[in-house]
Chains A and B, each alone.
Chain A
Amino acid sequence: MARIRERWGSKLGIILAVAGSAVGLGNFLRFPSQAAQNGGGAFMIPYLIALILIGIPLMWAEWTAGRFGGVRGHSSAPGIFQSLWPKNGAIKYIGVAGIMGPFLIYIYYVYIESWCLAYAYYSLVGKLDFSSAEAYVGFLQWYQGVGGEGLAGSAPGFIFFLITFAINISVAYFGIRGGIEKMCNIALPTLFFFAVVIAIRVLTLDAPPGAPADQNAIGGLGFLWNPDLTALKSPKVWLAAAGQIFFTLSVGMGVILTYASYLRQKDDVALSGLTAASTNEFAEIVLGGSIVIPAAFVFFGAVNLPSVAASGTFNLGFVTMPQIFAGVPGGFIYGFMWFFMLFLAGITSSISLAQPMVAFMEDEFKMTRQKAVPIFAIVSFILCQPAIWFLSKGVLDDLDFWGGTFFIVIGATFEIILLGWVFGIDKTWKELHQGAHMRVPRIFKFVIKYISSTLLLAMLGWWFYDQWWDVITMRGIADDNMPYVLGMRLVLLGILVVLLILIGIAFNRKRNNTNEARS
């Protein structure tokens, strides 16, 4: 019996799902921190240039490739790459980046997401210790089980992880329309509502008693937006902007490929893609830029803010923000809204990270979703454990590098070259405009073929030149952490080999079936 391919229930459904995948913790924590450290308002110049030259072209390319592959029965990168270049037997193996990358992010992201749920709960019931900065750090370390008491403190963390994991798997089990789409239709508007409420509260904060009058939220906006044009001379600023664009739009991961594969040939991808991307940019630039940095400016002042901004994403979210809410009337409600908003941003991303692997099993091994999701759940649950129990041993950082950087850049570079040069820019352009509700400016034809591919190749080349040897030799990793990181890398190598074998088996079986049918 022929299987019925899953479809999105509505155009808005896929837009919110893709936007949900893109809007994550980085929009509210990483972007303001990056902007504040890299020239303030001037950061927006390279940021917007990178958005136009890398982010948007790659986004359109992925939507186009995803729908193209989906129409041919493939929802994950190996099959989609193969359908774009059918004569090349090796290209499907490159597509492993589009399964492995999101899977690696998934196995640590769900744990971080569970912190947000836990902190939302602790904020609501008043259990967050608001007494001092040391108390926040102590609470975070206790919760993570890294505060010198070994794993004893991880019990609540593990319970919240189990809850979060179960929610993710349940959503995946109910499928594209019944699970992901329904969840995003509720989660995204709720997330935006909470973000707007928090942003309004932050932007109406006055200077604390005894502080200078200009230590208010507007001053905080100034800290983020006052341009330092000399920063534009620094290559570091341009790379930081390109990196932020790359990761904020969820391009190169294989997630958009998979989501777009559930569209029909006549469904629009041009306008839908731009709508999803602009939703993400609104969350990042307008809302993300109006919460953390302005709030931290009011409470810590201009002198201390640079060190606060440089303290890292997790400190900003889990230490700085609770401190700020502690000083606001009704702070526990804002604390709950903040962490629950981060949880929603996280879960709409993590369910998208699970989908490429599930889709691979469904499409290439003809499994039902009811069989593929439990297999995914068992494998991912086992592999989540090192990220949880060896958090302080550098395992999570290493997973983040391979999943969140390496496979994304590899996948994106091959993807853009495949569409611009192998499949051909003319065919890509025609495919992009099938059923399109907008005309993409023709300049993007040139940008996709020459500019985006050159920039991505340059980024990849620079990375190999600058970092490859340090990564392989594990330079910078503490001696005590070496066994853990090495062990995790061997596990990752094993997963990679298994996936490559599975891709080979799946496509050989398909070819044999096709030959049998012909004879």
Chain B
Amino acid sequence: MTTAGWIFMLTAWAVIISVLVICYVRTLSSDDADPDESTPLT
């Protein structure tokens, strides 16, 4: 694997994994709205 190959792969992995981790941390740390709240349909 060339140096450029490593750079492309590790950069892509780093971006994806960083976004993934940030998204899940923020999602799991934010409150869920009341799951039992239902809206009647008219």
C-alpha gap A71/B40 in the complex (Å) = 10
Chain B residues 1-42 with CB under 8 Å of chain A are 1-2, 4-6, 8-9, 12-13, 15-17, 19-20, 23-24, 26-28, 30, 32-33, 35, 37-42
Question: Inside 8 A of A5's CB, which chain B residues have their CB?
Answer: 38-41
A275/B5 in contact, CB under 8 A: no
C-alpha gap A71/B23 in the complex (Å) = 25
Quick check: is A113 within 8 A (CB to CB) of the other chain? no
B30/A11 in contact, CB under 8 A: yes
A221/B41 in contact, CB under 8 A: no
Chain A residues 15-41 with CB under 8 Å of chain B are 15, 40-41
Given A41-B9, A222-B2, A285-B16, decide whether A7 and B37 contact each other with a Cβ distance below 8 A.
Answer: yes
Quick check: is A12 within 8 A (CB to CB) of the other chain? yes
In angstroms, how far is the closest chain A Cβ from the Cβ of B38?
5
B28/A264 in contact, CB under 8 A: no
Given A44-B12, A48-B12, decide whether A221 and B5 contact each other with a Cβ distance below 8 A.
Answer: yes
Residue in contact with A221 in the complex, picked from B9, B16, B19, CB distance below 8 Å: B9
A225/B9 in contact, CB under 8 A: yes
A40/B5 in contact, CB under 8 A: yes
Quick check: is A380 within 8 A (CB to CB) of the other chain? no
Quick check: is A271 within 8 A (CB to CB) of the other chain? yes
Interface bin, chain A = 35 or more
Residue in contact with A227 in the complex, picked from B5, B28, B38, B42, CB distance below 8 Å: B5
Given A5-B40, A10-B32, A275-B24, decide whether A285 and B13 contact each other with a Cβ distance below 8 A.
Answer: yes
Quick check: is A272 within 8 A (CB to CB) of the other chain? yes
Given A226-B5, A437-B30, decide whether A2 and B40 contact each other with a Cβ distance below 8 A.
Answer: yes
Which among B19, B23, B42 has the greatest number of chain A C-beta atoms within 10 A? Answer: B23
Question: Inside 8 A of B24's CB, which chain A residues have their CB?
Answer: 275
Question: Inside 8 A of A48's CB, which chain B residues have their CB?
Answer: 12, 15
B30/A268 in contact, CB under 8 A: yes
Mark interface residues in A261-272 (1 if CB within 8 Å of B CB, else 0): 000101110011
C-alpha gap A4/B6 in the complex (Å) = 53
Chain A residues 266-297 with CB under 8 Å of chain B are 266-268, 271-272, 274-275, 278-279, 281-282, 285-286, 289
Question: Inside 8 A of B30's CB, which chain A residues have their CB?
Answer: 11, 268, 271, 437
Residue of B nearest to A265 (CB): B39
Residue of A nearest to B37 (CB): A264
C-alpha gap A15/B8 in the complex (Å) = 28
Residue in contact with A266 in the complex, picked from B2, B19, B33, B38, CB distance below 8 Å: B33
Interface SS, B side:
helix
Residue in contact with A286 in the complex, picked from B4, B17, B28, B39, CB distance below 8 Å: B17
B40/A278 in contact, CB under 8 A: no
Question: Inside 8 A of A438's CB, which chain B residues have their CB?
Answer: 26
Quick check: is A374 within 8 A (CB to CB) of the other chain? no
Given A41-B9, A44-B8, A282-B17, decide whether A15 and B27 contact each other with a Cβ distance below 8 A.
Answer: yes
Chain A residues 65-106 with CB under 8 Å of chain B are 71, 73
Question: Inside 8 A of B19's CB, which chain A residues have their CB?
Answer: 274, 278, 281
Question: Inside 8 A of B15's CB, which chain A residues have their CB?
Answer: 48
In angstroms, how far is the closest chain A Cβ from the Cβ of B18?
9
B35/A7 in contact, CB under 8 A: yes
Residue in contact with B42 in the complex, picked from A2, A7, A42, A224, CB distance below 8 Å: A2
B42/A73 in contact, CB under 8 A: yes
C-alpha gap A101/B8 in the complex (Å) = 35
A12/B1 in contact, CB under 8 A: no
A272/B27 in contact, CB under 8 A: yes
In angstroms, how far is the closest chain B Cβ from the Cβ of A385?
35
C-alpha gap A225/B2 in the complex (Å) = 9
Quick check: is A9 within 8 A (CB to CB) of the other chain? yes
Quick check: is A50 within 8 A (CB to CB) of the other chain? no
C-alpha gap A158/B35 in the complex (Å) = 40
A225/B40 in contact, CB under 8 A: no
A2/B8 in contact, CB under 8 A: no
C-alpha gap A417/B9 in the complex (Å) = 35
Which among A10, A42, A71, A274 has the greatest number of chain B C-beta atoms within 10 A? Answer: A274
B35/A9 in contact, CB under 8 A: yes
Chain A residues 480-513 with CB under 8 Å of chain B are none
C-alpha gap A260/B2 in the complex (Å) = 43
A-B contact pairs, 28 of them (CB 8 A): A3-B40, A5-B38, A5-B41, A7-B38, A10-B35, A11-B27, A11-B30, A11-B33, A40-B8, A41-B5, A73-B42, A218-B1, A222-B1, A224-B9, A225-B5, A227-B5, A227-B8, A268-B30, A271-B23, A271-B27, A275-B27, A281-B16, A281-B20, A282-B20, A285-B16, A289-B9, A435-B33, A437-B26
- Chain B interface (Cβ < 8 Å from any Cβ of A): 1-2, 4-6, 8-9, 12-13, 15-17, 19-20, 23-24, 26-28, 30, 32-33, 35, 37-42
Which 10 pairs of residues, A with B, have the shortest CB-CB distance? A222-B1, A41-B8, A2-B40, A226-B5, A275-B23, A225-B9, A225-B5, A278-B20, A278-B19, A3-B41
